[in-house]
Structure 1
């Protein structure tokens, strides 16, 4: 089962990110380990707080069997959703990994101008490009 979170302008980015955290902390992914969600806009701010969340909410505090980061990395997929900025890409690459990244735009909310140029300027191997542009989505959606 796959569910997209943050696919519209409402709820706001931080609210969509908080919803993902609520799913994690409620143990939804422990009860449904095969559940996968897609979080747009570079993960709706959550990846930028994963290490902080792990520091203040250990498995002993949350009652989960894994850290928040471990749950996130196994049950959440991230898309840029038209936010084509190199620092965010580099951060997501380092924190979440390219195996959980699916390329996306945010049309019709943002124009597609510059999308191809941004992607072409990323230092990616041909295999990494294929993962991001279609192989990860094929794996997630079992295509």
Structure 2
């Protein structure tokens, strides 16, 4: 739907300096919670990148173990898995060790 917004509301019409998609990508975080499937993850990964995906659990419908297994199985490198699992939340929430 973001592409549709960009097509319907070009920069000349909005007066913005960047597209709605780019604004969304810079200000929104997403989670695969509740939809732990590879196609869903690939879609949000392609749109947002690993730096905008947060770990979460759709409790009580999913378990912590189920989400961990899903993250471990993702076809991304170790740094991206760590970003999704905890580093993005640390950065977003200002958590320091």
What is the TM-score normalised by the length of structure 2?
0.86
Question: Is 1:141 the equivalent of 2:93?
Answer: yes
How large is the RMSD of aligned CA atoms in angstroms? Answer: 1.4
Aligned length: 94
Q: Which runs of 4+ in 1 moved over 2 A?
A: 62-65, 113-117
What is the TM-score normalised by the length of structure 1?
0.60
Aligned to 2:69: 117
- Structure with the higher fraction of residues in helix conformation: 2
Instruction: Supply the distance in 2 between the matched residues of 1:116 and 1:140 (Cα, whole angstroms).
Output: 20
Which runs of 5 or more residues in structure 1 are unaligned? 1-48
Instruction: Supply the distance in 2 between the matched residues of 1:116 and 1:75 (Cα, whole angstroms).
Output: 26
Which runs of 5 or more residues in structure 2 are unaligned? none
- Structure with the higher fraction of residues in strand conformation: 1
Question: Is 1:103 the equivalent of 2:55?
Answer: yes
Task: Identify which of 57, 61, 64 aligns with 2:16.
Answer: 64
Other structure's SS at 1:111 match: coil
